[in-house]
């Protein structure tokens, strides 16, 4: 039997009183207990965070997708669609641009799509004005709060702004610039409600197009009518001035009076010439005191006085024939110009009427609103798949962003 002779390990002796804990006495006990308590309270939160991190895809993608699929497949109410198609058209001379398809067919018939009015109708169908106009014709609140509607897709607020927002989500209007067709699609929870709404919107669109056409026609004719009214007032003023001149001069035609006066003076001058010739002839063989010569001299003197009086009466004073003729000619020229202006204004008005007829716009229905037999909305399978794919993409993007931030921080 061998006895081990290995030396035993050295024994280290130390004084407990020299340790910091001994120096501190009981002062260190509360700190150690507080740290233990804090660690005990934070441990469940850390465990919950770690558990959520391990199951992030399940919580962020799978669970919301299952809830969405449950809603779409089991809760969402059926929505029926009524579709109508129409075209806003005008005369072929008023619509510009190249056309094809239905547009070329209408253009061949003397009509063509009117793009500006069509776009205005499309904007009207998705506006607050359409909601106001429908308010007096149908009960929109009752239609969008049917008992069939589910709690998520039904109308909850009836104030005008939110009602308009909900209305524009249920009613869509698209415009095809190539063919000029406007497609109107109306959704509701009953097929008869969808068709009625589509029909009422078509009636309102027709009224809007008629108002725009009438306003364009009135705008085109208003200026022409104003020009005719101005020309008529000018003609009336010229005729009244001419009538007043005739009454003041007591002559229907002063130019005719001037011609007569000129003719009279000419006749008197002719008689004076004859009398002077006769006096000269008699003076050769008669004595100066002959009564025949005295008679001729008296006739010559009378003719000279009459000619002087006629010239004085027609060339001097306020009743001078020259002044009367000048004023008469001016008024006759004014009347002639007024008559020409009136004739031109009337011709312009007729031309504006013809042009206004060419600019008239119509709404032609191509497809009447239908009564749906099968609900097209909600698209249950597509919405469920789309929700899952969208959440998965967002989850992947979020993971990439988080990984990038951790790498940057490291």
Question: Measured between alpha carbons, how far is residue 382 from residues 70, 297, 377, 378 in Å?
Answer: 13, 131, 11, 9
Higher-confidence residue of 121 and 307: namely: 121
For the ranges 42-51, 115-124, 292-301, 351-360, the one whose mean pLDDT is highest: 115-124
SS3 content of the chain, % helix, strand, coil (to 5): 70, 10, 20
Q: What is the pLDDT of residue 219?
A: 79
Q: What is the pLDDT of residue 352?
A: 83
Whether the predicted model's global pTM rises above the 0.75 cut: no
Condensed to tens digits (0 to 9), the pLDDT of residues 292-336 reads 778 888 888 888 888 887 777 666 554 556 666 777 788 888 989
Distant-in-sequence contacts of 132-139, Cβ < 8 A, 24+ apart: 132/160, 133/204, 134/197, 134/200, 134/201, 134/204, 137/200, 138/196, 138/197, 138/200
Give CA–CA dist 366/344, Å, rounded: 43
**Per-residue tokens: 83:** 């579709």
As a whole number, mean pLDDT of residues 220-240 equals: 89
pLDDT bin (cut points 50, 70, 90) of residue 79 is very high
Residues 6+ away with beta carbon under 8 Å from 111: 89, 90, 91, 92, 362
Q: What is the pLDDT of residue 74?
A: 87
- Is the alpha carbon torsion for 243, 247, 248, 251 positive or negative? positive
- Between 32-41, 61-70, 85-94, 223-232, the lowest mean confidence (pLDDT) is in 32-41
Share of the chain above pLDDT 90, in %: 36
Condensed to tens digits (0 to 9), the pLDDT of residues 203-216 reads 999 999 988 888 87
For the ranges 17-26, 251-260, 269-278, the one whose mean pLDDT is highest: 269-278
pLDDT bin (cut points 50, 70, 90) of residue 140 is very high
DSSP 82: E
Higher-confidence residue of 68 and 325: namely: 68
Condensed to tens digits (0 to 9), the pLDDT of residues 376-389 reads 888 889 999 999 99
Question: Measured between alpha carbons, how far is residue 195 from residues 39, 68, 113, 202, 310 in Å?
Answer: 67, 30, 25, 11, 95
As a whole number, mean pLDDT of residues 162-176 equals: 94
Q: What is the pLDDT of residue 42?
A: 62
Share of the chain above pLDDT 70, in %: 78
DSSP state string for 129-158: HHHHHHHTTS-HHHHHT-TTS-TTTS----
| Residue 181 contacts residue 85 (beta carbons within 8 Å) | yes
Higher-confidence residue of 50 and 133: namely: 133
> What is the pLDDT of the chain when averaged over all its residues?
79
- Between 145-154, 201-210, 253-262, the lowest mean confidence (pLDDT) is in 253-262
In the predicted model, is pLDDT for residue 25 greater than 50? no
């Amino acid at each position: 039997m061998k006895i081990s002779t290995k030396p035993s390990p050295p024994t280290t002796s130390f004084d407990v009183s020299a340790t910091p804990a001994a120096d501190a006495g009981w002062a260190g006990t509360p700190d150690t207990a507080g740290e233990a308590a804090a660690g005990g309270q934070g441990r469940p939160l850390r465990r919950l965070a770690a558990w959520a991190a391990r199951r992030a895809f399940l919580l962020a993608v799978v669970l919301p997708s299952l809830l969405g699929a449950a809603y779409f497949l089991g809760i969402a109410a059926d929505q029926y669609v009524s579709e109508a198609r129409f075209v806003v058209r005008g005369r072929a001379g008023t619509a510009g641009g190249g056309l094809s398809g239905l547009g070329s067919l209408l253009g061949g018939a003397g009509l063509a799509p009117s793009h500006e009015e069509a776009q205005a109708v499309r904007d009207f169908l998705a506006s607050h004005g359409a909601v106001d106009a429908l308010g007096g014709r149908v009960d929109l609140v009752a239609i969008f709060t049917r008992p069939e509607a589910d709690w998520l897709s039904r109308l909850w607020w009836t104030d005008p702004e939110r009602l308009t927002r909900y209305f524009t989500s249920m009613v869509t209007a698209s415009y095809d610039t190539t063919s000029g067709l406007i497609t109107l699609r109306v959704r509701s929870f009953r097929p008869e409600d969808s068709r009625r709404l589509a029909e009422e919107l078509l009636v309102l669109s027709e009224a809007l197009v008629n108002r725009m056409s009438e306003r364009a026609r009135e705008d085109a004719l208003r200026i022409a009518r104003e020009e005719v009214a101005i020309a008529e007032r000018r003609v009336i003023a010229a005729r009244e001035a001419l009538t007043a001149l005739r009454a003041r001069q007591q002559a229907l035609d002063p130019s005719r009076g001037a011609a007569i006066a000129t003719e009279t003076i000419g006749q008197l001058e002719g008689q004076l010439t004859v009398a002077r010739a006769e006096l000269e002839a008699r003076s050769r063989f008669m004595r100066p005191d002959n009564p025949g010569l005295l008679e001729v001299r008296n006739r010559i003197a009378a003719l000279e006085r009459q000619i002087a009086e006629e010239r004085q009466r027609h060339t001097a004073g306020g009743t001078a024939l020259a002044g009367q003729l000048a004023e008469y000619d001016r008024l006759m020229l004014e009347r002639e110009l007024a008559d020409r202006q009136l004739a031109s204004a009337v011709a312009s008005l007729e031309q504006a009427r013809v042009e206004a007829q060419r600019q008239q716009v119509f709404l032609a229905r191509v497809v009447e609103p239908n009564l749906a037999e099968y609900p097209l909305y909600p698209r249950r399978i597509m919405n469920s798949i789309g929700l899952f794919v969208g959440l998965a993409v967002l989850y992947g993007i979020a993971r990439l962003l988080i990984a990038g931030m951790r790498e940057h921080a490291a």
